[in-house]
Structure 1
Amino acid sequence: MQEPNNDRFSKEIQDVENTEVTVPPVDEHASAETTSKSTPAFTKKARSQSRPVFVLILAIFMTALGAFVGIVVYKAYFERPATEAPVVAPQTPKPTPITAKTLIDKIKSNVKAEQVEIGERAGASTLTKDKLVAYSVPIYKPSGYTFSTVPAEMFGVSTSSSTQSLVEADIAFAKQYLESKGLKADKTTTDTQNNIVQETVYSNDNIQCIVRLSHHSTGYRSHIGCADASSYVNTAKQLKPLHEAYLTSAQNPIHDGLSMGSAIIENSSVAGYKRAEVSMGSANSKTGGFKGLFYQGSDKKWHWLIGTQSIPTCASYPEGDARKAFAGQPCTDTNGNQIKVNP
């Protein structure tokens, strides 16, 4: 058997040990780049692995929230006792209040004869342009007062025609309509001296009216006038201090049946003074009415001066407040000449 060649083997080992090994240099940038490129891959993989878990948790949360909301809604709207809707009573339109104006407006819209042009006011009447009475209202005593008076405001219509039947149709409609609204005929009179064929007073607690048929040389006329009771009260309130002054100072004042028209109040030419003029009369007197004169002096109270049917004498105005209140107004001297009141 041939022996191994130990010398040769030892030499080969020595050659290997003496061989110089060259290691290539390490590129630090390339290593960093390689590392950075490998990191996102790892992150994406981690995210892709965690996403199903997140979705599962979110789904569980939404399911629980939906169940909670459903329970709350069910308890709020289905388990609570049913309540009946409130019953709303049907509202009926309020009827238009009946006033003197609404009555006259209705009558105006239904007259057949030609309407007469209206002029100025004169006491309890309103005149036409030709100075005839267009319509009138009653003299009325408001509740709580001891005198009768005229209203502060009145409404009316007058028609005219040479055909008697047309005017009579207007009168008939006015009477029928007033009665349908609750007014009753109080009395009917005739006055041939004043061409009044027929005159009827209609009234209730709230309204006073006069329906009149007259005959003139040009034909026939209707005269229909109304006033609210509250309008009489307005006048009476204004007259109350004058009425009290009259009862206090006048000689033989009228207590029963006294009537007083609207007061005409004016400022005096002397500062701080006023005067008033009131048409007055008595229902029981046949001598006609008179003009009552009043004045307000420095004490700011009304005082009675005189009742007259003509221009007063200058001696009727005593010195002091009365003359100052009526300064410049007409009066007659001892010779009957008309002069002016000297304050």
Structure 2
Amino acid sequence: MSIKKILETYDDMQLQEVARQYEIRGYYKLNRNELIVKLLQNICYTAEQIFCALKIDYLTWWYNCSFGIIYEWDLEEDYFPLLNYFLVASDENKRLFIPVEIKNVYEKIYRTSQFENTRKLVDSIRIYRDGLLNLYGAVELYWFREMHSKEWGKKISIAECYKWLGILRSLYGGCKIIQDFIVHESLYCITEADFYTLKMATRGMDYYEPTPQEVLLYSNELYYVESVYISKLRTYLEENYNIPDENIEVALSTLIVMNRALQFKGDILIEEILKRFSLSGIEIVSQTQFDELAPLVGGVIKSMRAWRCKGHVDMQFNAEVLKLGRNDECPCGSGKKYKKCCIR
């Protein structure tokens, strides 16, 4: 099946939706035939860029889908953007059809060294995008390019940044560019005021500078550094709540994500986190339970990196609340004993 034949089955509203997806300017001024011709000119070029931005499992899935049969129960929601971009048609037998022109693009570029090099570049951009956003929430383009160059060996251009970040956003979501910042979606999904609040609150702070290995680790939004404070909290939950281990891990993940992203801190942050713990079966029904859990949660908070500190560990901790001993591990994450680090 060809692109033209698939497009000819679309009504005018569907054609205009595809035109918006492919960012065709002035599409509303074109008649039906002109719009189909314009789409034909854009779709194959865009497909080539999309192939370069696909994760390897998506690329494998697409290959199997294009050159075989893939059934309904394999069509996970994650793959929906690919179906849009590759103009997939289907029949009553649950088979999928991708236009022959798109298959030809894939066959033409797949085995070239340029394709593989571009894929490596885009994959590194995706990892740095996710890793730095999980550390900072919002990162200036200049710093993103600086950090990425340590991995890639040279700075990519601003134009390349905009191009590949735009395609990655179309495929996977996660962020957009506001002013000269790459911004995590949680800072604009409700209102962009959340981004501007964080920007003002962290103005004048230096970015924490991660190693390439740390960036890779933090590209997983649930990654955290196992510390004495997390260990103490986990042990307390295991000993005092009759809940599955996976519920405890969900509670820890909730703590990590909330601490990283929420811009308030102190007692308010601790209370908000403890409220969310109830979703994991950790109900706080007495003041004694609260008094026991609060300093444990506070210890984890003050020992972890957060957006409000531009990726640094929150150093404004209260040693008495955390009940730190001189020989305990310092909550700044250095790995040194408290007496040889931040106590000085």
Q: Scaled by the length of structure 2, what TM-score is found? A: 0.24
- The answer to which structure, 1 or 2, has the higher relative contact order (CA under 8 A, 6+ apart) is 2
Counting strand residues as a fraction of each chain, which structure ranks higher?
1
Q: Scaled by the length of structure 1, what TM-score is found? A: 0.24
Counting helix residues as a fraction of each chain, which structure ranks higher?
2
Tell which structure's C-alpha radius of gyration is larger. Answer: 1
